[in-house]
Amino acid sequence: MTRIPATLVLADGAQFEGYAAGYLPTPGVTTGEFVFNTALSGYQEIITDPSYAGQIITFTYPHIGNYGVNPLDEEAQRPWCAGVVTRDLSDLPSNWRSVGPLEGFLVQHRVPAIVGIDTRRLTRHLRRHGALPGAFGHADRVTVAEAARTARGTDGTDLVSRVTTREAYQHGDGARHVVALDYGIKTTMVHQLARRFRVTVVPATFDAEDIRALAPDGLFLSNGPGDPAALDAQVRVLDQLIGTLPIFGICLGHQLLARSLGATTYKLPFGHHGSNHPVKDLSTGRVEITAQNHNYAVAADSLGRSEVSHVNLNDGVVEGIVAADLGCFSVQYHPEAGPGPHDARYLFERFEALLGHGVREVQ
C-alpha cells in the first residue's frame, strides 16, 4: 500500500517521521496528548475506551490490526481518542471473528493514524519527559510543528461532558437497582453490572436529587477521561450522596470519590496504560494482575475519611480506597478488564455483597 509521508512533533520539539494512515483530516493535522499503551492485544477495546478522549494512543507493541475488528469488542459506540500511533498497521487481518480491517474502522470513525514511527524511541521519550501534547499529520512540517507548539494536554480540562451519554438507559433485570453515573463508561462495565443488577446508566450531569428520584439500592461511578480536579460539579453531587447508599467507583470514579472524601489528585508523569500491572489487595494480601488506563492518581497522604485498600507494586501508587463506615470503596484500575486479565472481577461481587448488607458493611 502506498502511503503519504507524515510527521509527528511533540510540544518539546521532538520530531518523528512516518506515514499517514486511517482517516486523513483536512488540513492534515491532528493534535492531542501523546500517551503509550503496553498491552499486547485488545487494540479495538483500547481505541474505543472513552477514557482516551483528547489523547493520541501510541501502541508499544509493534504490530497491530492483525486480527481485525468486530462489533463485540467495542467499548463505546465510537472511538473518542484523538489519534493512533503504531509501528506497523496490518492490512490483512486473519481471525474468525473479524468483520474487517482496523484501518477501515479508523476511516469509518474518522480517527487519524500515523504508521512507520519508531514507537520504541517515542515511548522512551514519553517515559523520560512525561505525557506530552503534540501533533501529527501529512501537512508540511512547519504546519505540524506549529500545531504541536499550541497543542493542549488534559490538565484542567473537563472531557467528561464530551463523552457522557445524553439520555439515561437501562440494562439487566436483577432484583437490586444500581444507578451508574456515566463519566465515560465502558460497555464491559455495563455488562458486568447488568449480570448482577438492574442498571440505569445516567448522564454525568445528573444531580443528587435526580439520582435519589430513581430510588437506587447502590451507586456506581464509572471510568472516564481528563483531569478529576476539573470536575468540581461531579464531586459536589457525591458530597450529597456519600453515606446514604453503597457506592463503588472505578478509575475516574475512584478519583472523584476520593476527592469527595477529602483527598487530592495529581498527574502521573506518563500514566499507567497497559494490561499487566501488579496490584496488592491489602485486606487479603492477594496480588492480582490488572488492566489500567489513567494519567491521574490519588495522593496517598491526603486520604481524609478513607484509607488505602490496594497499592500498585510497581511504583506504590494508590490503587484503591475504602471508607467502611460510609459504605463506599473504589479502585484505580479496571476489574472489568477489557482488554486484560480477570483477576479483579471479585470487586463486583464485593459491591453486590455490600448492597445486601448496607452501607456500614463494605468489607
Write out the catalytic residue numbers.
251, 334, 336
Q: What is the DSSP string of 96-149?
A: TT--B-HHHHHHHTT-EEEES--HHHHHHHHHHH-SEEEEEESS-HHHHHHHHH
Give whole-number Cα distances, 23 to 58, 116, 157, in Å.
Answer: 16, 16, 25
Answer whether 66's CB lies under 8 Å from 303's CB.
no
Which amino acid is it at 139? A
Distance between CA atoms of 357 and 338, rounded to whole angstroms? 29
Distance between CA atoms of 361 and 357, rounded to whole angstroms? 6
Answer whether 174's CB lies under 8 Å from 44's CB.
no
Burial class (CB in 10 A: 0-12, 13-18, 19+), 167: exposed
CB atoms within 10 A of CB 166: 7
Answer whether 119's CB lies under 8 Å from 59's CB.
yes
Answer whether 249's CB lies under 8 Å from 221's CB.
yes
Residue 295 CB contacts under 8 Å (≥ 6 apart), including other chains: 35, 131, 154, 267, 268, 270, 271
Task: With CA atoms as reference, report the closest residue to 63 among 39, 93, 88, 84.
Answer: 88
Distance between CA atoms of 216 and 198, rounded to whole angstroms? 9
